[in-house]
Structure 1
């Protein structure tokens, strides 16, 4: 390890400050462009020791767990609390612009749709048993050390106000180490315990069930994907359609971002009569769209498609709604199948939708909405659609992972 002084020239894709020397880039977490910092260096990474100059964009972090003097080192949940909001928004928007440019795509990119404190309705905690007590917290960045959480400005108040209840349930589970995913739903907290070696024994299941009954406000606890106790189904609302979240099921991290994405999609498809909702999940977008158009929802996950189907069947006022379980990575909808649709909405996992876009690109579907949490795979997929004759109407960056380098995007495309 060597100590040296460097000047930060830019921010990297993960939000680290980037300096350069004759051997290449040096990544310095929590440093900002324009700052001169003394670092302890190991190969291409540096740890801030002191500041010679600081950026005017440096601000005081809002959370005590972020780290001393805004240079991190404790909770790894956030990486950018030290950056002022205008510069932070510009940085995240630029990540998307750079990804598009890497594929030769020049397109109008709107201003960032901002995230705000206490909007996150889903948080993944790490649970570890120590000598005297059990700890619920977030891993320190790049380590297995768990930082006990006492406050969290990104988490919804409905989650963070129940930390004591979460500890009671974690103790009842009896395991030394596991993950606890907590989702705030309309009917209470949905708690998923994962990574439990051997699952829960009968004694632990009884202990967890007894704890939930006494605590109240807990909709469900599941362990390694199996329901332990479900006093009430954990329900989500998609434009008036209620769906029960499957154990371990995916939902957007914030309701506000979800609403914005859905509004953009519905506005773009306009008067389309028949819409394909691909990688449909539990119906986040398809159920909202079905108020105005017939929807065919396609999803590979069995639990998700069953939850979606049940929600659609039990919601009044929807147009014709059909579901299909299908692995769109291995068996994408073929070009010939798209002749039945006026519009397509797709929201794939981080891997993107390369095979599906290759088929869609050859179709005559007039309106397409692409939703993505990965700018790089999004840019690749868009380049396929553009090569097939689609034009980009608008790119909207959306922040639902506050104080992180992750950015969501909604892209609207047209053909003809």
Structure 2
């Protein structure tokens, strides 16, 4: 390890400051462009040990657990709390601009739809039982060390106010000191808590969890490795007025604000079409909203998600027909011959994107497409495939769903002809 004084040149895609040494870039977490800092350096990683000239964009972090001097260690949940909002918003938008530019896509990128503190309805906690108590918090960056949290400005008050309840449930469920995860979703009917990472749950532990949950209010469900342990009442999400019961541990958008922004942009572009397809549909975030205006075919690879979507559609009045299909779109994308019946297609794939599906879409006659993505790089690749096939990008909107992190959602709209 060596110590040296450096000046930060730029911000990397993961939010770390970068200075360029003679042997390559060195990454310094919690730093900002233009700052002169004393760092301890190990290979290409630097740790701040002193501050010289700081950036005018530096602000005090919102949380005591943030940064190199955070309480209990540096919580790995956030990486950009030290950055003023205008510079932060510009950085997030620049990630999308740079990704599109890398694929030669020259289109205007809209302003970032901002996230606010306290909006996160889905939080994944790291937890581990100790001799004294249950540690619950977030892993330190690039470490298995759990930083036990006492506050979390990104989490919804409904989750944060129940930390003691989560500790009691985790204590009852954990038989040893093995680390595990607690995914908590705040729903209108109570918290939905999915525990995974532990190997088994015996009858004694199951009874203990049941007793703990029955002794408190506000817990809708506790599941273990996808199996329901106790469900005092079904957790429900609302997709444009359609109630959906999510399967245990299922994916949901992390904030209602971001979900509604994505849905609004999607519905505005699709308009009043007769028939649309929602690909990588999940539990129906877009499909069930689209069914207010036209027929929808929803395709998803996860069987439990398909069944939840289908149940919601069948039990909600006022929707147009919704058909569902369990299908792996990475291996078996909808072909051109199947796509010809749709006026619009919406796709929201995992981080890997939808390359195979976009190759079929590019050859299709579908008039309108909405591409939703949590990865600007894979989105840029997918858009390049579509534009090469005759589509024109009409809008690109970045959305901040994961506050104070380098992650950004994007909604892109396209038309053909």
* Same fold by TM-score greater than 0.5: yes
Partner of 1:148: 148
Query: Distance between the aligned counterparts of 1:206 and 1:333, measured in 2?
Result: 46
1:184 and 2:186 equivalent?
yes
Partner of 1:356: 357
Partner of 2:25: 25
Partner of 1:260: 261
Give the CA deviation at 1:74.
Answer: 1.6
Partner of 2:310: 309
Moved more, 10-19 or 170-179: 170-179
Query: Distance between the aligned counterparts of 1:305 and 1:159, measured in 2?
Result: 27
TM-score by length of 1: 0.98
Query: Distance between the aligned counterparts of 1:98 and 1:413, measured in 2?
Result: 19
The two structures, once aligned, show a CA RMSD in angstroms of 1.2
Query: Distance between the aligned counterparts of 1:252 and 1:242, measured in 2?
Result: 15
Partner of 1:133: 133
Contact 1:72 1:79 in 2 (8 A): no
1:182 partner SS: strand
Query: Distance between the aligned counterparts of 2:382 and 2:71, measured in 1?
Result: 36
CA deviations over 1:132-165 (Å, ceiling 9, x no partner): 2221111111111111111110000110000000
Query: Distance between the aligned counterparts of 2:228 and 2:69, measured in 1?
Result: 43
Contact 2:287 2:298 in 1 (8 A): yes
Contact 1:29 1:71 in 2 (8 A): no
Contact 2:72 2:148 in 1 (8 A): no
Partner of 2:384: 383
Structure-to-structure mapping, 1:208-227, within 5 angstroms = 208-227=209-228
Partner of 2:159: 159
Contact 2:103 2:384 in 1 (8 A): yes
User: Where in structure 1 do 4 or more consecutive aligned residues deviate above 2 Å?
Assistant: 67-73, 174-177
Give the CA deviation at 1:238.
Answer: 0.4
Contact 1:335 1:359 in 2 (8 A): yes
1:248 and 2:264 equivalent?
no
Give the CA deviation at 1:413.
Answer: 0.3
Contact 1:358 1:385 in 2 (8 A): yes
Partner of 1:278: 279
Give 5+ residue unaligned stretches, structure 1.
none
2:92 partner SS: helix
Partner of 1:15: 15
Query: Distance between the aligned counterparts of 1:119 and 1:55, measured in 2?
Result: 28
Query: Distance between the aligned counterparts of 2:69 and 2:300, measured in 1?
Result: 46
Aligned residue pairs: how many?
415
Partner of 1:200: 201
Partner of 1:119: 119
Query: Distance between the aligned counterparts of 1:291 and 1:25, measured in 2?
Result: 51
Query: Distance between the aligned counterparts of 2:354 and 2:68, measured in 1?
Result: 41
2:340 partner SS: helix
Query: Distance between the aligned counterparts of 1:3 and 1:69, measured in 2?
Result: 18
Query: Distance between the aligned counterparts of 2:286 and 2:271, measured in 1?
Result: 14
Contact 2:276 2:296 in 1 (8 A): yes
